[in-house]
Structure 1
Amino acid sequence: MDAGDDVFGGGRQCQRRRRCPPRRGGLTRLLVPFPSSGFINPMFHFARLLHSAGFLVTFINIEQNHALMLSRGRQDGGKRDGDGDGIRYEAIPDGLSPSERGAQDYGFGLLHAVRAHCPGHLRELIARINTGRGGAGDSPSPPVTCVVASELMSFALDVAAELGVAAYMLWGTSACGLSCGLAVRELRRRGYGRRAHAMLFPFPCSGHINPTLKLAELLHSRRVHVTFVNTEHNHERLLRRRGGDGDGALRGREGFRFEAVPDGLRDEERAAPDSTVRLYLSLRRSCGAPLVEVARRVASDGDGGVPPVTCVVLSGLVSFALDVAEELGVPAFVLWGTSACGFACTLRLRQLRQRGYTPLKDESYLTNGYLDTPIDWIAGVPTVRLGDVSSFVRTLDPTSFALRVEEDEANSCARAQGLILNTFDDLESDVLDALRDEFPRVYTVGPLAADRANGQAAGLSLWDEDTACMTWLDAQPAGSVLYVSFGSLTVMSPDVLAELAWGLAETRRPFLWVIRPGLVAGGGDHHVVTNALPDGFVAETKARCFIAEWCAQEEVLRHRAVGGFLTHSGWNSTTESICAGVPMICWPGFADQYINSRYVRDEWGIGLRLDEELRREQVAAHVEELMGGGGGGDRGKEMRRNAARWKALAEAATAKGGSSYRGLDELVEQLRLGQ
């Protein structure tokens, strides 16, 4: 039974018939309640009120209830019963078999049976009464001129209309209950009556996987069914890292499952210097059909409790998944992994190329001041240096593959039904206003680093996290430690590594340094990388340095001992630092990291920036200025105050009623609508 249909059916009939006033005297009012106590009792009280007002009343039971009434002393078919209430009783069959009455779903079975079998019997009963053949008593009943039905019995209104009899409905709930019932159809139209099923597919590297997974957790917390798709290579890597036993986080849970598709890359290609380019091209060739197959399979697995995929959420660099969504006939949404200003700048790479700003004429343009050329025409973005727009403007190649990929991927977002950004309105208000003029649906849901979903799957890491560093931090004074990490992709030369190491050593401050495998060119193993550290560095810093292969970065940044972050300015790291209220020293080197560091220093006032050519003296000086030592204490204090303010604004944005909380609500509603 569709409650919305019954409400609307009853509502229309009641409105159509209520202009026909009942007449007293020798005319019968026929009352038809749904055959359960919660409906019979109020209808019986109403019957007695009608009778006390001088109306003739015939009360309709199903035969089962009628027999039960007789067994308890009530007389059938006469003008009066044993209590002298003056109500005539009639009975019609409900169509249920004896075995169906004992079924576990008896209530629904009764409802379906009544709606299927009772209309004809009610029609016959009214016709019999109206032709003077009477009812079950000794004398005929006067004609029926009015039918009163309870909810769930709206078929009686249709029978009355067919026979030209006035009809009314006695609704058994409160007025607010009826009002809510009347809203059911509109709620269904808006998608509230079904559970959305989002299939999420990120580009298979940590910087894309982590924010996409955090968004998945938030969607799941809002009752969106989630299928999170990794590549088979990363899925197996995660299983090996977690002991090979199919860790519960990868098994998923009710409403949240993990799937995997092949990336098409050969093992020898994964170790190639251009492995990321190879992976990008291989995904475009290999993943489309498997993603379609996953989407179709997950809804057919199990016992039917999994709804069909209703939308696809993809990260940047996997725009081919837009075609997957089109093939499935569902909307697609893009979670772009950079800041809003980073996205706006990437969108304008094509115009920069067309206007002749890039590619560069020759290598001298990298150092002759050309990269300082002001760019003042990107909507919502303050005047910035050309070199800060993106690392890709530095190319000398007119056919630069990376530049064209960034152009195409950013502009492909126009094909999606919505753009999702890991930021919040107060942080980037001007550029968000400009983007909303260009894209009809922009959802700000960040910072995704905020502790909002408390999900079991959050924090999947492709590297083993060193938990001993947390014990080391526990022993350090509050705000004393500089945390140093350059993300999952940065590669530096041994000479740069040495310059950075000695700069950290000169600070005489404690620091936690993440040196992951692959950080140094040619060093795919952690021990190879640490062996590349300059002679004497470990002995010099042993008492105040902890070197980890990888760590739980959000946990580290929130630790009371951490007072500063030396970072590559990737957007995930930047937002995690903002959420922790930790000021930054920025050393950008790739993609949007330049514009992020520009905003960190100049727009938000929460950090410093190192020159592109790393020098140990500047490293040491910036650490001292940030951490409050030397003559730069006032500026360090100002940056810490600003960091605390942005942390509070981030918390307000993600709290109930905040801009990102509302943005997530709007996104979920759109996912439910399937538009």
Structure 2
Amino acid sequence: MSAESQPPCHVFLLTFPSQGHMNPTLRLGKKLASKGLYITISTTLDFGLSLINAGSIGQLPSPVGSGFINFHFWNDGWEKDDLRRRDLDLFMLQLELTGKAALTQTLKDRAGENRPVSCLIGNPFLPWGCDVANDFGLPCFILWVQSCSVFSIYYHYSCKSVDFPSESNPCCDIQLPSLPLLKHDEIPSFLHPYGEYKAIGLSILQQFRNVSVPFCILMDTFEELEKDAIDHMMTICPVKPIGPLFKTLKFSDEKGALSGDFMKTDDCIEWLDLKPPNSVVYISFGSIVHLSQKQIEEMAHGLCNSGFPFLWVMKPLPKDMADCLGLKPHVLPDGFLEKVGERAKIVKWSPQQKVLSHPSIACFVTHCGWNSSVEALSSGVPVLVLPQWGDQVTNAKFLVEQFGVGLRLTRGVTEMRLVVRDEFEKCLRDAIVGPKAEELRENALKWKKAAEKAAVEGGSSETYVDELVSKIKKQSGNAMDVQIKSMCSIV
């Protein structure tokens, strides 16, 4: 095959069907496409339809830089409103059952169409993706969607290198190499004996059976942010900090093109433009977290009493969550909107990356998902932490104690504590005005500068991305021959 007729290097990204996973996956896809690669991003049909309905995906394949991005959706076999989707144990099994077969067939089809996949970039919640890649003899990378510190915690838990909380000793502290002392409620809750959503923890732990295999782990973090954890894990496996991915993108998309949002974003930038610098409180708890109605009411009263303008993301409650978990949509207190008037902007979903980079934003009240955490750090925005579960509780500790950009509201759902209005109002004031606010903003701006330094040409993250692309292109020449041979053995 001549160089002119050879198809472009094809990279297949597999991702878990959720907003928190799609964001870094799409950002990585854009980054690789901008360097001339052909990218396919694959997730479930149900989640794919939400992207399409939100207008987040335009005409496909979409040109990005000198490359292209396409999407591939597989049917997970359940109807959209099937209540089994809320049972994570069942859902994870269903994803493996349907996804593994779909991925196998797709790789065969692409090879048969003279569009062989050069490598697969998998997801920690879908460990079977690398198994399929190995069956085809394809190199497999992992896009780790949490912090390197959390990766280190999972690794040492899987190795049983130290004692972790157990049913017999649920409150023990954990001391790991390169990390500060962790209280029992500061490890990812999926690893705690009394934590919820054990299926997710088990799926993530399955990845570590392959750590000894020379595959690369890509992370949406940067060396300056987690130097000790990254240096430590680099002695164990090939860790590549390539973030913050949204900062490393040198191009801008057309309006509404490839945003990755599962809901249509509301227009709030013009409202922010009318507010003074460092004056607005931004509140958002991601795509999944659903606080109690009482907590929403207390926060509303605290915001009203504070006098600060605020942008509050109050996403609609999905029907299946309401039916399966008995949850109800949030309701604001009577007369609340009349009292706050023009100080308030309530939206269903926001373009968070643009919001956090807006000069009017003073602080961010967050659940501490890793995407939100790294976006806040890279945008120079102080945070008020209200973690719930998973890695959120670990991220909250680091935001407050290690990075020095946040104030703590709670320690997570295990604390079972209501943040009352007066306490919430005081934390808002401490984060926006006075000496503590100056300290938080100074630290936040330091991390913003470090993120920008990592993302520029010659910076640490950009260098790792260039190395990754070079490696992928070098391996792509053998992709067709390898897959044809693998197809014969698999059929």
Normalised by the length of structure 2, the TM-score is 0.86
Aligned to 1:287, the other structure's residue is in SS state: helix
Structure-2 residue corresponding to 1:620: 425
Contact 1:449 1:572 in 2 (8 A): no
Give per-residue Cα distances to partners, 1:623-664, cap 9 Å, x unaligned.
Answer: 100111xxxx11110111111111011000010111001111
Q: Out of 633, 640, 646, which is 2:447 matched to?
A: 646
CA distance in 2, matches of 1:414, 1:201: 21
**What is the number of residues matched between the two proteins?**
460
For 2:403, the aligned partner's letter is W
Structure-2 residue corresponding to 1:417: 215
Q: 1:399 to 1:448 in 2, by over 3 A?
A: closer
Contact 1:199 1:295 in 2 (8 A): no
Report the CA distance between 1:354 and its aligned residue. 8.1
Give per-residue Cα distances to partners, 1:393-419, cap 9 Å, x unaligned.
Answer: 443389954443343345555546111
Contact 1:477 1:561 in 2 (8 A): yes
Q: Out of 338, 351, 356, which is 2:146 matched to?
A: 338
Aligned to 2:41, the other structure's residue is in SS state: strand
Report the CA distance between 1:485 and its aligned residue. 0.3
Structure-1 residue corresponding to 2:306: 507
User: 1:468-617 alignment to 2 at 5 Å?
Assistant: 469-518=268-317, 522=322, 529-530=329-330, 532-612=331-411, 613-615=417-419, 616-617=421-422
CA distance in 2, matches of 1:622, 1:395: 32
Q: 1:353 to 1:281 in 2, by over 3 A?
A: farther
Structure-1 residue corresponding to 2:225: 427
Structure-1 residue corresponding to 2:485: none
User: 1:301-340 alignment to 2 at 5 Å?
Assistant: 301=113, 306=115, 308-340=116-148
Report the CA distance between 1:618 and its aligned residue. 2.1
CA distance in 2, matches of 1:417, 1:393: 24
For 2:179, the aligned partner's letter is V
Contact 2:282 2:312 in 1 (8 A): yes
Query: Which runs of 5 or more residues in structure 2 are unaligned?
Result: 412-416, 477-491
Q: 1:272 to 1:505 in 2, by over 3 A?
A: farther
Normalised by the length of structure 1, the TM-score is 0.63
CA distance in 1, matches of 2:111, 2:74: 17
CA distance in 2, matches of 1:316, 1:399: 15
Between stretches 195-204 and 325-334, larger displacement belongs to: 195-204
Give per-residue Cα distances to partners, 1:259-282, cap 9 Å, x unaligned.
Answer: 22122233342x457244433221
Contact 2:157 2:164 in 1 (8 A): no
Aligned to 2:178, the other structure's residue is in SS state: coil
Aligned to 2:127, the other structure's residue is in SS state: coil
Aligned to 1:674, the other structure's residue is in SS state: helix
Query: Which runs of 5 or more residues in structure 1 are unaligned?
Result: 4-104, 106-192
Structure-2 residue corresponding to 1:460: 260
Contact 2:216 2:239 in 1 (8 A): yes
Contact 2:9 2:117 in 1 (8 A): yes
Q: 1:536 to 1:411 in 2, by over 3 A?
A: farther
Aligned to 2:282, the other structure's residue is in SS state: strand
Greater Cα radius of gyration, structure 1 or 2:
1
Structure-1 residue corresponding to 2:108: 296
Structure-2 residue corresponding to 1:241: 54
CA distance in 1, matches of 2:243, 2:307: 36
Report the CA distance between 1:234 and its aligned residue. 2.0
Contact 1:481 1:510 in 2 (8 A): yes
Percent identity between matched residues is 29
Q: Out of 446, 453, 471, which is 2:243 matched to?
A: 446
CA distance in 1, matches of 2:85, 2:299: 23
Aligned to 1:229, the other structure's residue is in SS state: strand
Alpha-carbon RMSD across the aligned residues, in angstroms, is 3.0
Higher relative contact order (CA 8 A, sep 6+): 2
Does 1:255 pair with 2:68? yes
Contact 1:387 1:393 in 2 (8 A): no
Contact 2:165 2:192 in 1 (8 A): no
Contact 2:124 2:204 in 1 (8 A): no
Contact 1:263 1:279 in 2 (8 A): no
CA distance in 2, matches of 1:219, 1:557: 24
CA distance in 2, matches of 1:519, 1:611: 25
